[in-house]
Amino acid sequence: MNFTSVPFLLFFAAFFAVYAVCPVKFRGYLLFAGSLFFCFWNSVLCAAAVLSFALVNFVLGFLMRSAGSVSARKALLWGGIALNLGALITFKILKILPLGVSFYTFACISYLADVYRGTCEAAVNPVRFGAYVTMFPKFQMGPIARYGELSETMEAPKISLVTIQEGLRDFIVGFCMKIFLADRLAILWNELLTIGYASISTPLAWIGIISFSMQLYLEWQSYSRMAAGIGRMLGFRFPRNFAYPYLAKSISDFYRRWHITLMTWFRDYVYIPLGGNRKGLGRTVLNLLIVWLLTSVWHGVGYNFLLWGMSLGVLIVLEKLFLGKWLKKIPVLPHFYVLFFIMLTWCCFKIGNLSDLGVYFSRLFALPDSGINVMAKDFIRVLSRFWPYLLGGALFCTPLPENLIRAIHKNWIVSMILSAVFVYAIHTMIRQGSNVMMYLNF
């Protein structure tokens, strides 16, 4: 069930109605039941996989809690990591990815590591732990919340009219962002596919990659907003996942603002245990490249993902070495530097075939003899149809609209307008369909 679908809206309306009247201490159990229903709705494989992960990791954490020696705890930790990662890698190689597996695998590994370090207490209630792993608001696309961030709330999640208002606000904003912006921008890329990469003009190639960059962000941001909104309505505060990354001044800064929970996961559970930047420059560089290698594999098994990840790794290393210092001294230009390289790396992300990627780059930079049957003014038609979405997308890449909504949403007239827009978004969704989230089956 996607968030932007009628079945989900009906499911959540019914679930929330029961949740709101459920005694607080039983809400964790209800959440587990609802989340299991959500998983089974997707597929039996999805439900079976997540239940297996939840059970195995609960047992490991429980055993770690009662293990006497450090070596025993270490063995359980590494055994758990091997099991989790082994299962994830197997799924990726077989290309049979149960929904959400990449997210809850990392959540489970973080749980084991935090229990080992003593950062959080091991779970004693398997149902509440199961609710943490399967929690439907964050199941499909994160955020990758740590157990310690949610466990206390899971004991007795409290809701109020305030949490409902804030949660609904975030959900509606995310929902509308997805339907009116992300989905519309996705169509623009279809125009390029229709024409064929070899035949698009250079302006259209740039419009395409700008559009995709915005679309990717808006997909993630809208999903994160909806997840956070639902979580808030249920009494949970999810960690923030995006902090307006296109305002960054360096690639390093960008990835401190993009998919924050994933990047901090790699920082806390890979980079820092490897030594971080505490073991000299050479080791720091190596650690960074290892992190980006793993990041690229997490996103997908393919040369394009490798190219994407390692390009970013190299840029971040260069920033660490000398580039970062220059960027801090120069005004404005760093923003263009970030946008330029980020968009080029998104090309690698989007275009899976290396040969097609080469063709696209040749069109981006208007290499001689690179175009076949190119219509020089093809971008005019595309711009004339998509300019509202490009403008809207650019606006929502900044904090302005969301800050404004946050400031005024409690006014009943504003709420009425937001609700009307929400219903219009539902109507649009039903009438025209909605793109499947591109990261589904991650």
Partner 1 sequence: MNQIKKTFLTVLKKAPLLLFAVLFCLIYAGCRAAAPAKEESSSAPHSSAPSSSQVSEPSSSVPSEPSVSPSSESSVSSESDPESVYSDTEDSSSEAEPSEPEKLEFTKVDEDYFEDALFFGNSRTRLMGIYAPIGNAFFYGGDIASVYDALEMNMGVEGYSSIYDVLATHDFGKVYINFGINECGFDDESFMESYEEIIDVVRRYQPDALIFLVEIMYVSEEKCITSGVFEPYIIDNKNEHIKALADGKTIFYLPVNEIADDGRGYMKAELTGDGVHLTAATYHLLSDYIMEHGIVDRNHPAHPAKSSESQS
Identity of residue 306: L
Q: Which two tokens stand for residue 355?
A: 């040969």
Q: Which two tokens stand for residue 271?
A: 């980079």
Where do contacts with partner 1 occur on this chain (CB under 8 A)?
13, 160-162, 164-165, 168-169, 172, 183-184, 186-187, 190-199, 372-375, 385, 409-412, 415-416, 418-420, 422-423, 426-427, 431-436
Give the nearest distance from C-beta 330 to partner 1 in angstroms: 39
Tell me, what DSSP letter sits at residue 3? Answer: S
Pick the closer one to partner 1 by CB: 44 or 372.
372
Give CA–CA dist 370/360, Å, rounded. 9
Give the nearest distance from C-beta 423 to partner 1 in angstroms: 4
Pick the closer one to partner 1 by CB: 268 or 356.
356
Exposed / middle / buried, residue 336 (Cβ in 10 Å: 0-12, 13-18, 19+): exposed
Pick the closer one to partner 1 by CB: 13 or 70.
13
Pick the closer one to partner 1 by CB: 63 or 374.
374
Pick the closer one to partner 1 by CB: 281 or 404.
404
Give the nearest distance from C-beta 420 to partner 1 in angstroms: 6
Is the alpha carbon torsion for 229, 230, 232, 238 positive or negative?
Answer: negative
Pick the closer one to partner 1 by CB: 77 or 359.
359
Give the nearest distance from C-beta 157 to partner 1 in angstroms: 17
Q: Does residue 338 contact residue 254 with C-beta atoms inside 8 Å?
A: yes
Other residues' Cβ atoms within 10 Å of the Cβ of residue 124: 11
Give the nearest distance from C-beta 185 to partner 1 in angstroms: 11
Pick the closer one to partner 1 by CB: 294 or 405.
405
Give the nearest distance from C-beta 427 to partner 1 in angstroms: 7
Q: Between helices 303-318 and 354-364, what is the axis angle to 10°?
A: 50
Counting DSSP H helices and E strands in the chain, the numbers are 21, 0
Q: Does residue 181 contact residue 389 with C-beta atoms inside 8 Å?
A: yes
Give the nearest distance from C-beta 150 to partner 1 in angstroms: 23
Cis peptide, bond prior to residue 399, ω within 30 of zero: no
Q: Which two tokens stand for residue 391?
A: 């403008």
Tell me, what DSSP letter sits at residue 270? Answer: I
Give the nearest distance from C-beta 29 to partner 1 in angstroms: 24
Q: Does residue 379 contact residue 345 with C-beta atoms inside 8 Å?
A: no
Identity of residue 42: N
Give residue 130's Cα distance to chain centre: 21
Pick the closer one to partner 1 by CB: 8 or 271.
8
Pick the closer one to partner 1 by CB: 30 or 359.
359
DSSP, residue by residue, 281-295:
HHHHHHHHHHHHHHH
Pick the closer one to partner 1 by CB: 84 or 215.
215
Contacts of the segment 402-406: beta carbons below 8 A, 24+ positions apart: 402/173, 405/169, 405/173, 406/169
Q: Does residue 240 contact residue 232 with C-beta atoms inside 8 Å?
A: no
Under 8 Å CB-to-CB from 415, ≥6 apart: which residues? 409
Give the nearest distance from C-beta 82 to partner 1 in angstroms: 32
Give the nearest distance from C-beta 49 to partner 1 in angstroms: 17
